[in-house]
């Protein structure tokens, strides 16, 4: 989502986060009205109605036409639909520019001291963040013996057996006959299953 589109999204929500403007939209969706008519229907003063209409006109949600000395307003349904399609889809909203790694970085700061783990997180979600950080210390295309795996893990935490089991449980690594290798990230589990596989290390 571009900065301009994001700004439009904010303005759209701000414009409609008002009871009077929502009522205006509802009325103008049904028929044309003058400021005088809208003021009577909403029991508002005409300058107040004009103020709300200007907010909606800024988003091109409302169109005006002249009839003699009277200005008539109506909702532009096509513009409303265009805004809806462009700004209110989940995909667009979720692609707003935010730091997607901020939470993971905060978790790592909480559990690391001088590059070593203070403890293995009890929370599965936090544990996964730590394990993914740790498994990236291993080369993707290399086979590790259990001994060499343990030696590397113990640089970061003394409980290499638990970390080794967690690598397998989260499918960050695979194992066969005492040899371990890092799996592609596309195969990593989002969350560990409640029960470990029966063949995990004791």
| CA distance linking residue 41 with residue 31, whole number of Å | 13
43: in domain: yes
Same domain, residue pair 122 and 86? no
Domain holding 182, by residue range, is 102-187
For the chain, the domain total comes to 2
- What confidence score (pLDDT) does residue 195 get? 38
- pLDDT tens-place string over residues 170-186: 999 999 999 999 999 88
Domain end position, chosen among 28, 63, 94? 94
Same domain, residue pair 158 and 82? no
- pLDDT tens-place string over residues 36-64: 999 999 999 999 999 999 999 988 889 99
Same domain, residue pair 32 and 56? yes
- What confidence score (pLDDT) does residue 88 get? 54
Question: Exposure string (b/e) for 70-84, b if CB count within 10 Å is 16 or more?
Answer: eebbbbbeeebeebe
Kindly report the pTM of this predicted structure.
0.53
199: in domain: no
């Amino acid at each position: 989502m571009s900065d301009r589109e994001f700004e439009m999204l904010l303005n759209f929500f701000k414009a409609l986060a008002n009871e009077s403007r929502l009522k205006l939209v509802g009325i103008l969706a049904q028929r044309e009205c003058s400021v005088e008519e809208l003021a009577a229907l909403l029991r508002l003063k005409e300058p107040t109605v004009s103020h709300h209409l200007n907010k909606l006109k800024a988003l091109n949600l409302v169109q005006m036409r002249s009839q003699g000395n009277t200005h008539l307003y109506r909702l532009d349904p096509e513009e409303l639909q265009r805004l809806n399609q462009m700004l209110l889809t989940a995909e667009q909203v979720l692609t707003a520019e935010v730091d997607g790694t901020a939470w993971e970085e905060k978790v790592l700061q909480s559990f690391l001291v001088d590059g070593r783990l203070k403890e293995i997180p009890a929370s599965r979600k936090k544990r996964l963040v730590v394990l993914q950080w740790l498994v990236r210390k291993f080369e993707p295309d290399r086979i590790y013996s259990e001994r060499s795996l343990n030696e590397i893990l113990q640089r970061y935490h003394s409980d290499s057996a638990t970390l080794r089991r967690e690598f397998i449980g989260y499918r960050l690594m695979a194992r066969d006959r005492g040899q371990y290798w890092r799996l592609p990230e596309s195969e990593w589990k989002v969350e560990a299953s409640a029960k470990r596989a029966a063949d995990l290390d004791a």
